[in-house]
Amino acid sequence: MPSRTLALSAALSAALLPALAPPAAASGVHRVMVPGSYGVRDVPADAARLLAKVRGCAAQVSRGAYREDANGPASVRVCEKDGAVYWKADLDVDCDGLSTRRCNAATDPYFVGQTAFTQSDGRPLSAERLPFVVVPAPSAIWRHSASGVRGGGVVAVVHEDKVRYGVVGDTGPARIIGEASYAMAESLGIDPDPRTGGAGSGVTYIFFKDSRAIPIEDRAEAARLGESLARRFLRAD
């Protein structure tokens, strides 16, 4: 980030009033107040500020690294900082879950009609409609639940100058990382076609520990919580 931008960010952060801790629900799940509560004024949680916050790897929580593709090098580490877990990778398009017009066995040769986490009615999630991220299945490299990352957990995904919010919606291969739903790719301006789309690099995933959107399929709730959690993450130093 240019030095002028860093200086401006520092000046804005210094002007903020200290945030009071928002009330938490039972079981450690954050039910975060909308930004602006308690008289707090926040700077926007934009792409530049979030990327600056997760520059480098503050503390590695994975034992080793993940591959972005089956035959690629193991180079993606899972890192942790100020109540969030993050990594930087590619984005492969996941079309699994409910069969819809754009996500089905005809459009995706690897289509699976289930997701690891389900809607409040027990049905699979819809990759076409719900922005969600896929986390690696638990392994000796990393167990997502041990880091406070669970189904329905809120995540910010950053690509170029865009920040979009979603939930943890599915699990993937135990040694591969970097996958998100059709809806998430589309919202970021990435080609969502499960055969030919995705992004080869430049995608940052930031998971807010012990958070949860209820119900998991509520896209607006994930966005509301995501913006609030992202601003709180930026305030923590």
Q: How confident is residue 23, by pLDDT bands cut at 50, 70 and 90?
A: very low
Inter-residue contact 120 to 216 (CB < 8 Å): yes
Give Cβ neighbours of residue 117 (< 8 Å, ≥ 6 apart): 125, 151, 152, 168, 169, 170, 216
Q: How confident is residue 2, by pLDDT bands cut at 50, 70 and 90?
A: very low
Give the pairing of strands 66-67 and 84-94: unpaired
What per-residue confidence (pLDDT) applies to 218?
Answer: 98
Mean pLDDT on 59-78: 97
What per-residue confidence (pLDDT) applies to 15?
Answer: 39
- Predicted model pTM: 0.82
What per-residue confidence (pLDDT) applies to 35?
Answer: 39
pLDDT 10s digits, 117-149: 999 999 999 999 999 999 999 999 999 999 999
Q: Domains, the chain, ranges and CATH? A: 27-235 (2.40.40.10)
pLDDT 10s digits, 30-48: 444 333 433 345 556 899 9
